[in-house]
Structure 1
Amino acid sequence: MKIKFIYAYALLFSGLFLFSCSSDDSSNNPDQESEEIENTPIESSEVVSKILIEGATKEAGTPPTPNEAISFEVVSGTSALQTEGFDIAINSDTELTGAYLQIKNVDGEVANEYFDIDFSALSGKSVPQHIKKRSVKKTVQAIEVEADVEIDVDFETSLEPGTFCYVICVYDANGNISAPQEVCITVESWGGKNDLVAVWNLEKEEETYMEETYSYIVGEEICDDYNSNFSCEDDTIVEYQYCGLVDSGTLNLKVDGTYVYETSGYENELDYEASVNECKAIYVKVEDYYWTKGYWAYNAEKEEIYIVRYEYIDRYGDEEYSGTYEEGDAYVGSAKVILSGNSLIILEEDIDSSYKSYFNK
């Protein structure tokens, strides 16, 4: 009853919110408005005053002149999220000790301050202590860029969506400074694609690994491909399987850029003591529930959704893990979006595997 109540509440809340925010003015295009906001230039002085860089010291003036004796490559992207910011991932053949970073707007105006970033002070982003390795959750898990150095850049909450650029050069312990590289960043607005705003019902999942695909359909029990076994007191060998199912799953993408995602189901676990005593497989049904809440954003150019998780509950039987994350330290992930009418596919691809979650509304 509790699971049904939560599900119904999500449906009612979403419907109420969408109705109250609807408009009869067909000239309004929410997607276009979102893109216009994201393309708005942000003044370099505003970014400098609202940017938070791990291991950095703000200095007046301009950085030292490069001698271009060393080189490097920026291997990170050009998108950022409100509050959470972005990462600058760097590769180099040189053992680097730091970087100089300047902010400029898209018109070329450079801020009159710069950041001196000490790489020895970088700690890396925190990783949640409890993450179940299940494909339905991989769509909200971050994929780290393989890089020699990763700089964590966050924003104050008051920085609005828009565009700006940064200019970065790196240095080593011998005083060598690379030539600068410029990267322009788009700070995505929350939400951003009106067709995605809905309560999406999970239908099935597909996991492909080494060209072999496994399907998991909501409401259908699945079992391990192999049997396990145990020995009775008279040395009789009894085989058994682990089975389970997901009986419901919803992804509620709201117009204000927030989301709620939850799944519920069960797994059949072997009651080992009872099974040995009876010399047959006796199972106990263990309830499995997962819930997460946060913000979402859409990148129209890449056709990707970004999920920023601030709260989660992961319950398996009597065990429960839950947590909240501070702004700037949320759990961030991205995935490809394939949208067609009332159908939605969220796709994540690795080097030799892919994960698809199919939804409808």
Structure 2
Amino acid sequence: MKKVNLLFATIFVAIITLSSCSSDDNTVNEGENGNEETGGGNPGEEDIEDREIPVSELADGITIQGGEKKSGSAPAPTGDVDFKLGFSEQNAFLTNGFDIDFTSTDPNIKGAYLQVTDVDGNKIDGYFDITDLKANQNGGKAFNQKKKVSAQAKMEGEDPTSYNINVNFDASLQPGKFCYEICIYDENNNISQIQEVCVNVEAWGGNADLAGEWVFDSEMSDEVESDEAIFECENGQSLTAPYEEKEKDIWTFVLTEDGVYYETYEEKGKRLDTNASLENCEAVYNTPYEENEKFSGNWSYDEDAKTLTAVDFAYEDFLNSANNETYPEGEVYFYNVKVEIVDGKLKITETDGVDDNGNPELLEYYFKKK
């Protein structure tokens, strides 16, 4: 498996329309699942994540890419801009933060105003004016071209543009809950009605049953892929041969109870030489390859959804240290993938795009405990 870093997706679906960007409504949407802890959680973790983060901690704990913090209150909305957020709660992760994804059919979106509050509606001083919006005109996230345009948008004859805002946390911000109010504006200074979202900042770790050193065992996919090449040779014969002649192929995935995660890839072998194989209609492997690398970071478990998120903070290439990297703000690897123990194996299920009918294609990874 090649490692793919994913950006955040949002979780719960609901829209709250408020009257201004300085809302006086202090109600917090707790969501359908509440906060009851299920089996496997670490003792005391639920209390930590239920903490109401005070304004004093929020004031210096949040930064927004492309956002300028300004004094005073955000301009009042005019309600003349289409703004679809689609959720009223979302999860976030220490240091890495979260993303805000929204759509609008307005072709002239210029920016967004965002006001951070505690769960009681108390505001931090000032607000963010965000002008660096990542847009994708195909109706999906800029990082995920597979997302389909909604059926409603097709019926209306308009393709909504999807935008992304990246919010990061300072290392001082600890697990708990807070909220924010957001509205968007266009080039003519028309301002949408605002929507309120409450954020759950997850603690690292969360299910001791998942902790251990796991070694990749097998993979199942809805999409059938072959690891063999089929050739029609010049002499009229056919040749079927694996793309690689493997000497070593080990993927190790490690989770610790305190929320640390790392994984290593050790691969070595030779790749199939197509031209040489066709010449004599015999598989020839003469292109050596070798990888020995490690990704390190943290993991978090959602007790309600029974899903796992892993965030990378460092990469090491043991064959060439010049390739080593660090990710100070974190890069999401697995995001809210279903995780469970099945017959003593760690099973991870993630969605890998959609098929021609719009149905999700699933990938299942199975790991044996070392």
| Matching residue of 1:99 | 112
| Matching residue of 1:330 | 331
Specify which of 184, 187, 190 is matched with residue 173 of structure 1.
Answer: 187
Name the amino acid aligned to 2:164.
E
Name the amino acid aligned to 1:358.
Y
Check whether the contact 2:297–2:313 (CA below 8 A) recurs between aligned residues: yes
Q: How does 1:221-260 map to 2 (within 5 A)?
A: 223-224=227-228, 226-228=229-231, 239-244=239-244, 247-260=249-262
Is residue 200 of structure 2 the alignment partner of residue 198 of structure 1?
no
Is residue 118 of structure 2 the alignment partner of residue 110 of structure 1?
no
1:252 Cα shift? 0.8
3-state DSSP of counterpart to 1:192: coil
3-state DSSP of counterpart to 1:109: coil
Structure with greater proportional helix content: 1
| Matching residue of 1:4 | none
How many aligned positions are there?
298
C-alpha separation in 2, matches of 1:194 and 1:157:
24
| Matching residue of 1:84 | 96
1:242–1:322: structure 2 CA closer, same or farther, 3 Å change rule?
farther
1:108 Cα shift? 2.2
Give per-residue Cα distances to partners, 1:223-252, cap 9 Å, x unaligned.
41x413565xxx786735234456433211
3-state DSSP of counterpart to 1:41: coil
C-alpha separation in 1, matches of 2:109 and 2:219:
43
C-alpha separation in 1, matches of 2:166 and 2:213:
33
Instruction: Please provide the CA RMSD for this pair.
Output: 3.2
| Matching residue of 2:363 | 355
Check whether the contact 1:143–1:333 (CA below 8 A) recurs between aligned residues: no
Name the amino acid aligned to 2:84.
E
C-alpha separation in 2, matches of 1:143 and 1:257:
28
Give per-residue Cα distances to partners, 1:66-98, cap 9 Å, x unaligned.
121223112466011111111111101113111
3-state DSSP of counterpart to 1:36: helix
Is residue 268 of structure 2 the alignment partner of residue 269 of structure 1?
no
Give per-residue Cα distances to partners, 1:107-137, cap 9 Å, x unaligned.
222223211112xx3468xxxxxxxxxxxxx
Q: TM-score, normalised by structure 2?
A: 0.70
1:339 Cα shift? 2.8
Specify which of 174, 178, 198 is matched with residue 184 of structure 1.
Answer: 198
C-alpha separation in 2, matches of 1:145 and 1:152:
20
Name the amino acid aligned to 1:333.
F
1:144–1:303: structure 2 CA closer, same or farther, 3 Å change rule?
farther
Specify which of 166, 175, 198 is matched with residue 152 of structure 1.
Answer: 166
C-alpha separation in 2, matches of 1:340 and 1:230:
45
C-alpha separation in 2, matches of 1:272 and 1:166:
56
1:292–1:325: structure 2 CA closer, same or farther, 3 Å change rule?
same
C-alpha separation in 1, matches of 2:362 and 2:101:
24
1:223–1:84: structure 2 CA closer, same or farther, 3 Å change rule?
closer
| Matching residue of 1:44 | 55
3-state DSSP of counterpart to 1:90: strand
Is residue 318 of structure 2 the alignment partner of residue 304 of structure 1?
no
1:263 Cα shift? 3.4
| Matching residue of 2:152 | none
C-alpha separation in 2, matches of 1:31 and 1:144:
37
Q: How does 1:275-286 map to 2 (within 5 A)?
A: 280-284=282-286, 286=289
C-alpha separation in 2, matches of 1:306 and 1:240:
39
3-state DSSP of counterpart to 1:35: helix
C-alpha separation in 2, matches of 1:253 and 1:274:
44
Q: How does 1:124-143 map to 2 (within 5 A)?
A: none
| Matching residue of 1:344 | 346
Identity of aligned residues (%): 32
Structure 1 runs of 4+ aligned residues shifted over 6 Å read: 235-238, 276-279, 318-321
1:48–1:189: structure 2 CA closer, same or farther, 3 Å change rule?
same
Check whether the contact 2:78–2:193 (CA below 8 A) recurs between aligned residues: yes
1:264 Cα shift? 3.1
Name the amino acid aligned to 2:70.
E
List alignment gaps of at least 5 residues for structure 1: 1-28, 125-141, 215-221
